[in-house]
Amino acid sequence: MAFPEGVKYAVVGAGIHGLSTAYHLAASLRASGRGSGEDVLIIDKTAIAAGASGIACGVVRNNYFQPAMRELMAQCVEVWESDPKAYSYHPVGYMQISPESMHEDVGTIYEQQKAIGYESTFIEGEADSMTYMKGLFDDWQAKGITSVLHEKKGGYANNTASMYGLATKAEAEGVRILTGVEVTGFEFASDGGAVTAIQTDKGKINCEYVVIATGPWVSRFWDFLDLPRSISIKGRDGQQHDDVAMWKYWCLEEGTLGVDPNMHKTNDGAMPPVLHVDSNAPLYADEDGSLITEEMWGIYYKPDFNFGGIQGGAAPYVVDQNPYEVAIDPYGPDSPDFIVGDNFINMWCSALAHCQKRFEGQIRYYKNTDPSGGLGCFTPDSFPVFDVFRENAYVIADSNHGYKMIGVGKLVAQEIMGESSKLLEPFRFSRYAEGKLHPVSSSPFPWS
């Protein structure tokens, strides 16, 4: 493709949000007669799926304590279900398996799923939870579980394959995807307001509108837009909190047990739902019985032919580094080494064995050679910011919730076309100043 001098809509980032926004924007432009996919250009410094979307575990679920997140996820699941083949989507369902400290929160999620018509089953009490789990997996043995939320929808999708599915749809609409071009800044109108052009390492591209969908690189673009690195927040307690960092980083630890994925089927031979287990039962090492933790812990896992085994992860940890240095290129060759270590491997494999007997003694099959995990960039309250800045710069900052959020691009496209979205409204930047924060759950994960 010849280097373009200008385009109406420039989308930076060829991950889930950039591709989805571009595709839906192109389709809306065509359907409304207001333009076509040729008015939309995606720019990525590396390639399609080069960022977080290309390494994500790919779990798609509704299980969120925050009503606004649940409603948004229900819309996203509909988009996944609209073309499972193209999106490489496996609708196996999802289970949240919890101890007593989370019982009430998860019960609320169940009630609200009923209210929005999202199909799920809720099992309460230790004995009934055990019976339900043994009905699915006869080797189930996790202790101290007192509730099971079984979402019948959701599941997981294959990370890279789904990105290519989206890219194919976007290109079929006429969208151009320019890879190997790095955005290095913006030019603004003479009044200092709107973005008028994108500066890249290969030259300037004029544009009328820009969508920033750069995943964990978002803080760099925040700087390009000259937005504040720290903000004031009105807390849920009504108190003012000043000087809160806009971005923080967590490292997501994930890995794969290199066994035959078929070893983790249900009693009736079906592919199982994605399992997410939180527990406060003491966790002991599978290999030598030593105590790993008596604190709350959590894991998730699924059989995955793409990763070649049982793939999943555990709760992430905060990255204690200057985020603005890390943010330069969280997945680049010079990025810090975030590959998971022995503690994760021991903890995750032992937790698998804690839950199901079939995983006892399997730690030796852990795929130590495959890099896994990665960085997530989180907002001050760890929920997304979907908003327009400087008149024409739409920032999609999903706070690392976003592989499952395939429907957000559709809603962003709708907003760019002039129709504001009720589902995106709770995720505006102004919520920090106004104190309209999302409720916080008792899960050990920053994304639940």
Q: List interacting residues with ligand FAD (CB under 6 A).
A: 12-18, 43-46, 50-53, 55-59, 182-183, 213-217, 252, 254, 373-376, 396, 398, 400-404
Smaller CB distance to ligand FAD: residue 173 or 253? 253
Distance (Å, whole) CA 147 – CA 79: 29
Helices (H), 116-158: 126-136
Token pair of 365, please?
A: 């099959």
Q: Which 8-state DSSP code applies to residue 417? A: T
Question: CB neighbours of 330 closer than 8 A, spacing ≥ 6?
Answer: 216, 217, 249, 338, 374, 375, 377
Smallest gap from residue 332 Cβ to ligand FAD (A)? 9
Smallest gap from residue 329 Cβ to ligand FAD (A)? 8
Helices (H), 173-312: 218-224
Smaller CB distance to ligand FAD: residue 56 or 347? 56
Smaller CB distance to ligand FAD: residue 55 or 246? 55
Smallest gap from residue 33 Cβ to ligand FAD (A)? 29
Closest CA to 379 of 270, 261, 284, 246: 246
Tell me how far apart the terminal alpha carbons of the chain are, to the nearest angstrom: 42
Please report, for residues 116, 215, 248, 287, 344, the alpha-carbon distance to residue 375 in angstroms, rounded to integers and kept in the order given. 32, 10, 10, 29, 15
Smaller CB distance to ligand FAD: residue 73 or 148? 73
Smallest gap from residue 145 Cβ to ligand FAD (A)? 22
Smaller CB distance to ligand FAD: residue 100 or 226? 226
Q: Which 8-state DSSP code applies to residue 356? A: B
Amino acid at 336: P
Distance (Å, whole) CA 375 – CA 378: 10
Smallest gap from residue 204 Cβ to ligand FAD (A)? 14
Distance (Å, whole) CA 314 – CA 427: 26
Smallest gap from residue 232 Cβ to ligand FAD (A)? 26
Smaller CB distance to ligand FAD: residue 248 or 401? 401
Smallest gap from residue 269 Cβ to ligand FAD (A)? 25
Distance (Å, whole) CA 165 – CA 167: 6
Smallest gap from residue 396 Cβ to ligand FAD (A)? 6
Distance (Å, whole) CA 287 – CA 363: 8
Smaller CB distance to ligand FAD: residue 50 or 385? 50
Instruction: Provide the sign of the torsion angle of the four alpha carbons 85, 87, 90, 94, taken in this order.
Output: negative
193 with 202: CB under 8 angstroms? no
Smallest gap from residue 447 Cβ to ligand FAD (A)? 8
Distance (Å, whole) CA 109 – CA 115: 10
Owner of token pair 């639940």: 448
Distance (Å, whole) CA 313 – CA 300: 6
Instruction: Provide the sign of the torsion angle of the four alpha carbons 130, 131, 137, 141, taken in this order.
Output: positive
Q: Which 8-state DSSP code applies to residue 270? A: P
Smaller CB distance to ligand FAD: residue 209 or 217? 217
Smaller CB distance to ligand FAD: residue 273 or 402? 402
Smaller CB distance to ligand FAD: residue 103 or 302? 302
Torsion angles phi and psi, residue 255, rounded to 5: -165, 180
Smallest gap from residue 209 Cβ to ligand FAD (A)? 16
Please report, for residues 237, 312, 351, 357, 429, the alpha-carbon distance to residue 347 in angstroms, rounded to integers and kept in the order given. 36, 12, 6, 16, 37
Smaller CB distance to ligand FAD: residue 215 or 280? 215
Smallest gap from residue 179 Cβ to ligand FAD (A)? 9
